[in-house]
Amino acid sequence: MEEEFEESNIDDLFERLKDSDSAQEKADLAESYHDLFNEMSYDFACDKFDDVEYLYTIVEKIEILKGVVSWSLRAHAYSMQMDQAEKNQDIASVISNGHLAIDALYNQLTEGEENKQFIYQNLSHYYYTLSNYLPDKAVEYWEKSLYYSKESILENAMGAKWVMYFTLLYSTSKQESNLLTEHRASEATIFRNWCFSLNQDGLAYTIASQFIRFKMVTEDNDSVNYSFPEKVFILAGKVFV
């Protein structure tokens, strides 16, 4: 009840200020909405909140108050709607919100967003998700997911989400085509050969730890077919074959 009351108050304030000339009051209210958005996003991640459509309403109000489009918040809101749709098995909503999230991320790149690695990681994730729901575009979207996963790694290999890259190489979709299998096998061979060039440095240890994380994912997820690459498991710059 307290949270609903607070939301009602802030929305009433929005109606009074949205056409106001007070830039400072608008900025303060936009910041309050941003805090509310973050709180609800956290609750959603903890399965304590499922009214994801309201999150986009918050984004719209922030944009009205600031007078600019917030592509980062839009991408985040769409991604959560996409996640909720997956839980509800609403395939049409997964696809539509996935494409909207991707478009928002492309707009972030166009505007010169500094944190490119984060954007690349999300683009990879969304394209991979859509590849599993659109059989006719599975190969195309898998390739785009792979491209952005590698772009993320190139931005900062030590801080990259290698687990996403490993997922692309060592998992199979329920409607796997022979062509996609060939593409995956080809990339897996490229990666395996590249592993031999690694020295005993920090990157080798990073990849080894990411392999361990990937193995944990394979053990905890029953919805995707994974094949953990024991022979490509790297430790201290060595490849075990």
The string of pLDDT tens digits covering residues 125-141 is 999 999 999 999 999 99
For tokens 């309050």, what's the residue? 32
- Domain membership of residue 31 (yes or no) is yes
Residue (of 115, 185, 186) closest to 151 by Cα position: 115
Bridge partners, residue 226, by sequence: 171
Residue (of 113, 36, 132) closest to 75 by Cα position: 113
- Domain membership of residue 51 (yes or no) is yes
pLDDT at 240 over 50: no
Which one has a higher pLDDT value, 3 or 110? Answer: 110
Residue pair 66/26 in contact by the 8 Å Cβ criterion: yes
- Domain membership of residue 19 (yes or no) is yes
d(CA 63, CA 41): 18
Instruction: List helix spans (H) across the chain.
Output: 2-17, 23-45, 52-66, 71-87, 91-110, 116-131, 138-155, 162-170, 178-195, 202-220
Name the domain count of the chain: 1
Residue pair 81/75 in contact by the 8 Å Cβ criterion: no
Measured in degrees and rounded to the nearest 5, phi and psi for residue 67 equal 75, 15
Residue ranges making up the domain that contains 43: 1-113
- Domain membership of residue 79 (yes or no) is yes
Q: How far is the CA of 198 from the CAs of 101, 195, 204, 229, in angstroms?
A: 35, 5, 6, 17
CA dihedral 208, 212, 213, 214 (to 10 degrees): 90
Quickly state the pLDDT bin for 241 (edges 50, 70, 90).
very low
pLDDT at 236 over 90: no
- Domain membership of residue 179 (yes or no) is no
- Domain membership of residue 152 (yes or no) is no
108: which residues sit within 8 A by CB, 6+ positions away? 71, 72, 75, 119
- Domain membership of residue 173 (yes or no) is no
- Domain membership of residue 172 (yes or no) is no
Q: What is the pLDDT of residue 173?
A: 74
Q: What is the pLDDT of residue 239?
A: 43
